[in-house]
């Protein structure tokens, strides 16, 4: 393996310079609530590396919301609501070196109820979490993906507001909203009609992503296309952000992952 690539892996991978594997940075973990404080051990180092935890009650008849917690804020968000962030106290107690600890709220640990959790660790060419304060003027926001994002999800945290979504297949003058069932909305301002790069993404003078004095969080997902640096030899792709056009009938498909408009992660088959 080339010396340059080994150095990159040492900077972005595990201790000892080993390339990261999917189990180092992503986990789907199902659990049953115990009615009290509950430790989730999924072997993801959130305390040292940072990232995002997404939790949902999946039991039949349990129409509870989606709860999101990231290591950049001591607060939570609902992916299906425009509400401002709420205190994480009683919801998520800590981010650990091998997972996380939930508080005793019945919303996340109700006894006997089934829950799903998704954990994304921050890592180059995979995922990043960025917080910033809006200025009301077009600007760029730095990120640490070290590659062009495939998907960006942005939310005001200090006040109410929509979950704005940029996708690589959607163009720079269009926006989707994660918490709504709208089709594409035309906008030259949300993303400032500018494509993101491997170091920054752009926001315009829009309340969806850059209102003056408002605090924001952005979740950035990479898109590997033959340029991933994961797996045993540090040369495998690990995340893709794709799209497809429905034909109203059955389709020949391949396995991938994505988000639906209600904020659920779906294991989907795409053409």
Q: Confidence band (pLDDT; 50, 70, 90) for 39?
A: very high
Task: Give the pLDDT confidence of 145-178 residue by residue, as tens digits.
Answer: 999 999 999 999 999 999 999 999 999 999 999 9
pLDDT, position 252: 59
Last residue of a domain, one of 121, 155, 185: 121
Q: What's the pTM?
A: 0.87
Residue 264 has pLDDT above 60, yes or no: no
Residue 210 has pLDDT above 90, yes or no: yes
Q: CA–CA separation, 254 vs 80, rounded Å?
A: 28
Asked if residue 180 belongs to a domain, the reply is: yes
Residue 85, both tokens: 């962030």
pLDDT, position 159: 95
Q: How far out from the chain centre does Cα 164 lie?
A: 13
What is the share, in percent, of the chain residues with pLDDT greater than 70? 85
Last residue of a domain, one of 121, 149, 170: 121
Residue 133, both tokens: 């304060």
Nearest to residue 22, comparing CAs of 264, 258, 229, 243? Answer: 229
Asked if residue 100 belongs to a domain, the reply is: yes
pLDDT, position 254: 54
Contact criterion met (CB below 8 Å) for 256 and 224: no
Q: Confidence band (pLDDT; 50, 70, 90) for 140?
A: very high
Identify the domain containing residue 82 by its residue range: 21-121
Long-range contacts of 188-193 (CB under 8 A, 24+ apart): 190/164, 190/166, 191/166, 192/138
- HSE of 173 in the Cβ direction (CA atoms, 13 Å)? 3
- Residues 52 and 97 both lie in one domain: yes
Nearest to residue 149, comparing CAs of 175, 124, 131, 173? Answer: 124
């Amino acid at each position: 393996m080339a010396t340059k690539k080994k150095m990159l892996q040492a900077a972005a991978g595990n201790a000892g310079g080993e390339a990261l594997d999917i189990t180092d940075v992503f986990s789907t973990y199902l659990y049953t609530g115990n009615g009290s404080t509950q430790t989730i051990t999924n072997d993801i180092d959130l305390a040292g590396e940072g990232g995002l935890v997404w939790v949902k009650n999946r039991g039949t008849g349990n129409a509870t919301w989606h709860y999101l917690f990231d290591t950049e804020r001591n607060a939570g968000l609902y992916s299906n609501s425009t509400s401002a962030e709420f205190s994480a106290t009683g919801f998520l107690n800590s981010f650990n070196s091998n997972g996380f600890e939930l508080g005793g709220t019945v919303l996340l640990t109700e006894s006997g109820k089934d829950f799903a959790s998704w954990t994304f660790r921050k890592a180059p060419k995979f995922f990043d979490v960025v917080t910033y304060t809006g200025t009301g003027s077009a600007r760029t926001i730095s990120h640490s993906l070290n590659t062009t994002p495939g998907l960006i999800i942005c939310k005001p945290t200090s006040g109410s507001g929509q979950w704005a979504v940029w996708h690589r297949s959607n163009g720079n003058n269009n926006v989707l909203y994660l918490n709504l069932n709208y089709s594409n909305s035309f906008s030259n301002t949300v993303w400032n009609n500018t494509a993101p790069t491997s170091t920054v993404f752009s926001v315009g003078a829009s309340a969806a992503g850059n209102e003056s004095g408002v605090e924001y969080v952005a979740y950035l997902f990479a898109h590997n296309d033959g340029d991933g640096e994961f797996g045993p030899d540090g040369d495998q792709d690990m995340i893709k952000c794709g799209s497809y056009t429905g034909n109203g009938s059955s389709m020949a498909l391949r396995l991938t992952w994505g988000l639906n408009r209600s904020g659920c992660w779906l294991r989907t088959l795409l053409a």
